[in-house]
Amino acid sequence: MPRYKIMVVDDEKSMREFLEIMLKKEGYDVASFDSGEAAVERFKKAPCDLVITDLRMPGMGGVNLLKAMKGLDNGVMVIMITAYASVDSAVEAMKSGAYDYFTKPFNVEEIKLNIKRALEVRRLERENILLKKDIKSRYGFSNIVGASRKMAEVYGFIMSIAAAKANVLITGESGTGKELVARAIHNESPRKEKPFVTVNCGAIPESLVESELFGHARGAFTGAVYEKAGLAEMADGGTLFLDEITELPLNLQVKLLRFIQEKSFRRVGSTNDISVDMRLIAATNKDVEKEVEGKRFREDLFYRLNVIRIHIPPLRERKEDIAQLAAYFLKKYNAEQGKEIKKISGEALDCLMDYDYSGNVRELENAIERAVALEAKDCISVESLPPSIRNRCVKEGSPADPGDKGTVTGPGASTVTIPPEGIDLEEAVSEFEKNIIKEALKKAGGVKGKAAKLLGISFRSIRYKLGKYDE
């Protein structure tokens, strides 16, 4: 049993002592007070889970004590006891937030049972608060990481359309975070306290999609032994997120279109219409217009869904976000795996920056999760990265090919000759630098990380110089 804290407040000493002895025998941590004022002062410093208080006391009475406690912690449970029972006093106590009300002398076993029930309610409410915080931390707006201009546009668009009722279509490659964006829209909307229900249209067998989405009546098909509510019904008041919408079978697309138009549906095997109030967000990693052209997706359904369009750019188009994302995932998996890795080495970060992620943010996250699991030191090294990323970079300590020193030509390569009319020094130096970088890239097989190693400069430097020369 958890060590719950209970306060007993009664101006009658014998009652305080009786309750204190009884509750301590039950395993609770108990503190008793002879006045409401003293209990409130203690509560400010050391809150408790449950207050058992007399209704009538000199000074602060039970109802005023209840209101004071609830003002400090609305979740605290309060049980009233009194020798002067009346309907009015009971009603006032319950309206003010009391969990229960007992008349002296009370049944000891009954009050023990009600104390356990009140503390169970307290526990569940705490868990609910923690769960909401966890959900917000996992799926809140702050979980979409990236400071690039393209992501800033996405953030701004989310904020501008979150309160709207219109349907939203989110497009983008796999792993770009379409569900995170959908959850962010929900969490920033007036519907945030209501359910966010996800339907993966590509993961449910075709024969079960309609039943999962709209539910079924008892006896609708073999195995339907009871009535079942669908996910659309569960999303009432909140948001229904249809992921991989283009995987929905054509016959179901017709029923989804009717549902969107009429805001009502019928369970499989039923003739009764069920109306719901919810916002629809759909997502796909496919080119929807091509799916429509190929007659694989209904044009009328597309227009119903495509009221507001959000496109999530792939990671290769916003590489300036990679360092921030990597740091975010390092912190996340440090916590999950109990590690204390402080940073990512410069060379490892160069490798991460130089890689084109076909799996987008999800692939980068997997790479950091793997690196955290494998790294034995306090800094992520190149060796801890996945081979697909590591092989794009020069391995730490690998020597340049000593067999071919190469020849560098260009203005000023070995001797300097200045013509009578003079030269443009900056232009000559730039041309020389450009030729050296070209030669290094040629020797490195086009791998920028290796070319940088040959030149003794950082990956960032060579990338900057290539950009300067429009290479």
pLDDT tens digits, residue range 57-76?
899 988 899 999 988 888 89
Instruction: Dump pLDDT digits (tens) for 219-265.
Output: 777 777 677 888 998 899 999 999 999 999 998 999 999 999 998 99
Residues 281-302: b if buried by 16+ CB within 10 A, e if exposed: bbbbbbebeebbeeeebbeebb
218 neighbors 227 (Cβ within 8 angstroms): yes
Indicate whether 158 pLDDT > 50.
yes
Distance between CA 96 and CA 73 in Å, rounded? 13
Which residue type sits at 108? V
Tell me 96's DSSP state: T
Q: What is the pLDDT of residues 94-131, one digit of tens each?
A: 888 888 888 878 888 988 999 998 998 888 777 766 55
Higher model confidence: residue 170 or residue 324? Answer: 170
CA 165 to chain centre: 22
The span from the CA of 281 to the CA of 285, in Å, is 14
3.20.20.70, 3.40.50.2300, 3.30.1330.40, 3.40.50.170: CATH of 5-133: 3.40.50.2300
In tens, the pLDDT along 356-383 reads 999 999 999 999 999 999 998 999 999 9
Please provide residue 393's backbone torsions phi and psi, each rounded to the nearest 5 degrees: -120, 165
Q: Which of 271, 273, 255, 171 is nearest to 213 (CA)?
A: 255
What's the token pair of residue 85?
Answer: 């029972």
Model pTM? Answer: 0.57
Q: Give the Cα separation of 308 and 458 in Å (integer).
A: 43
Cis peptide before 387 (omega within 30 of 0): no
- 436, 452 contact by CB (below 8 A): no
CATH of span 317-390: 1.10.8.60
The C-alpha atoms of residue 162 and residue 160 are separated, in whole angstroms, by 6
Same fold, 141-313 and 403-471: no
Q: Residue 417's pLDDT is what? A: 63
Q: Where are the alpha helices (DSSP H) in 48-204?
A: 62-72, 87-95, 108-139, 149-161, 178-187
- Give the pLDDT score at 399: 38
Task: With beta carbons less than 8 A apart as the criterion, state whether 77 and 46 touch.
Answer: no
Distance CA 51, CA 69 (A): 9
Q: Which of 26, 101, 97 is nearest to 56 (CA)?
A: 101
Spans of all domains in the chain: 5-133, 141-313, 317-390, 403-471
pLDDT of residue 141: 56
Which helix (H) or strand (E) is 245 found in, with range?
A: none
Calculated CA dihedral for residues 196, 201, 203, 209, nearest 10 degrees: 100
Report the candidate in 183, 177, 289 with the shortest Cα–Cα distance to residue 241. 183
Residue with tokens 């069920």: 274
Answer yes or no: are the C-beta atoms of 328 and 176 closer than 8 Å: no
Q: Which amino acid is at 455?
A: L
Distance CA 450, CA 290 (A): 40
Query: In 144-228, where does DSSP find H-type helix?
Result: 149-161, 178-187, 206-214
Model confidence at 41: pLDDT above 90:
yes
- Position 414 scores a pLDDT of 45
Domain formed by 141-313, architecture: 3-Layer(aba) Sandwich (3.40)
Q: What is the dihedral of CA 383, 387, 393, 394, to 10 degrees?
A: 50
Give the model confidence (pLDDT) of 282-327 as tens digits: 999 999 999 999 999 999 999 999 999 999 999 999 988 899 899 9
Structure tokens at 60: 């602060």
Tell me the C-alpha distance between 38 and 471, whole Å.
77
pLDDT of residue 128: 64
For residue 1, the model assigns a pLDDT of: 43
Mean pLDDT of the chain, nearest integer: 84
pLDDT for 386 beyond 80? yes
Residue range 403-471 forms a domain whose CATH class is: mainly alpha
